[in-house]
Amino acid sequence: MTREPAAHGPGRVEPSRQTTPPVGSTGGSALVVEHLTKRFGDRLAFDDVSFEVGYGEVFGFLGPNGAGKTTAVRTLGTLIAPTSGSAQVAGVDLCPENGPTIRSRISIMPESPGLYPRLTVAENLECFARLYRVADRHERIERALRAVDLAERAGDLCRSLSKGLRQRVALARALLSDPAVLFLDEPTAGLDPVASREVHELIAALKDRGVTIFLTTHRLEEAERLCDRVAILNTAIQLVGRPDELRARLFTRTLEIRLRSELADPAAVFSGLGGIVGWATSAADSYLLTVADDPDRAAPEVARALVHAGADICSIVEARHSLEDVYLELIDEDVEARKR
């Protein structure tokens, strides 16, 4: 654990990439999770969850409320014991005896900031710096506060801070120990758009530094913006991959064409075009073409065919499926499957 926390204000953290595993780690992955399951009596929190997260990666854990995201973070953070399965966290096997060792290598920022309201910002951080036994305590606190742009508020009581500022203090607290893996549990929950954007900038800056981040969220734009890979969880993992991979796996690639007026015989125009495997009318003057491979290669030929047919082209664009589409598709499928 030799990395230093960030400095110089939100979104302006020092940009050196630091992707080395912590001292004492045995593998190349920050997290290795294999068939992890957690039950509370008859209630299944999450089931047979497996994934890996590399050092320096920002991994998103997406899922609806009650999907088991927070329980998974608590389990990997050794706060609760798994029912079955195994995991390695920052190179250490997940078991009760290794709890303090694992917790010394990671940081968890829970959904609620959990600051002592009657203590000042600096006093809160000092308490946690002591609990982590960081060597250069005061310097670390100053740097962590500068990283979240709160150096001027060090003497303020936490109860006097807004929710957004409290979240930033919680992030500073999570940075104090210079963790090998930083778990952020719904970091923007309950924040207004401005405060959310500030937290996003801070996370993006940490990402640029190469900090390994495990981010749980149900805000899809957040995951799409910040995460290298995501796992979609609804008690069990539905899919893991890069957002663009997930889109490709779930949806065929399509070209969306908008014309000034309707084609007289669209079948004659689109049938037989190379790389186009199907077409449909989406509105009177709009068409969706299913592309076999690469939309960029198919688009010129489509344009030529349309010009040849005398059509006035307004636009030809690749129809983009957002991560939200992927998410909704998977969650809906899962809900349907459970009903059956």
Residues that bind other proteins (CB under 8 A): 38-41, 43, 71, 74, 77, 79-83, 100-101, 103-104, 107-108, 110, 112-119, 123, 127-128, 130-133, 157, 170, 173, 177
Residue 248 Cβ, how far from other proteins at the closest point, in Å?
Answer: 37
**C-alpha closest to that of 93 among 34, 38, 179, 134:** 34
Whether residue 251 contacts residue 245, with contact meaning beta carbons closer than 8 Å, is answered with no
Residue 128 Cβ, how far from other proteins at the closest point, in Å?
Answer: 6
CB-count burial class (<10 Å; 0-12, 13-18, 19+) for 163: middle
Residue 328 Cβ, how far from other proteins at the closest point, in Å?
Answer: 28
49 or 311: CB nearest other proteins: 49
- Number of neighbouring beta carbons within 10 Å of residue 7: 15
123 or 201: CB nearest other proteins: 123
Residue 49 and residue 75: Cα distance in Å, rounded?
12
215 or 259: CB nearest other proteins: 215
Counting Cα atoms < 13 Å in the Cβ hemisphere of 32 gives 11
Q: Most distant CA pair in the chain: distance in Å? A: 76
3-state secondary structure (DSSP) of residue 95: coil
Residue 142 and residue 308: Cα distance in Å, rounded?
67
C-alpha distances (whole Å) from 219 to each of 222, 226, 306 are 5, 11, 40
103 or 253: CB nearest other proteins: 103
3-state secondary structure (DSSP) of residue 94: coil
82 or 243: CB nearest other proteins: 82
Residue 298 Cβ, how far from other proteins at the closest point, in Å?
Answer: 51
Q: DSSP E strands: which ranges in the chain?
A: 29-40, 43-54, 58-62, 84-89, 92-93, 106-109, 181-185, 212-217, 229-234, 236-241, 253-259, 276-283, 286-291, 313-319
Residue 147 Cβ, how far from other proteins at the closest point, in Å?
Answer: 18
11 or 22: CB nearest other proteins: 22
In degrees and rounded to multiples of 5, residue 257 shows phi and psi of -115, 130
Residue 227 and residue 184: Cα distance in Å, rounded?
12
69 or 173: CB nearest other proteins: 173
Residue 25 and residue 88: Cα distance in Å, rounded?
9
Helix 163-175 and helix 121-131: axis angle, to 10°?
30
Residue 66 Cβ, how far from other proteins at the closest point, in Å?
Answer: 13
45 or 331: CB nearest other proteins: 45
18 or 83: CB nearest other proteins: 83
Residue 200 Cβ, how far from other proteins at the closest point, in Å?
Answer: 22
Which residue's entry shows tokens 């913006």? 225
| C-alpha 94 chain-centroid distance | 23
Residue 100 Cβ, how far from other proteins at the closest point, in Å?
Answer: 4
Residue 70 Cβ, how far from other proteins at the closest point, in Å?
Answer: 9
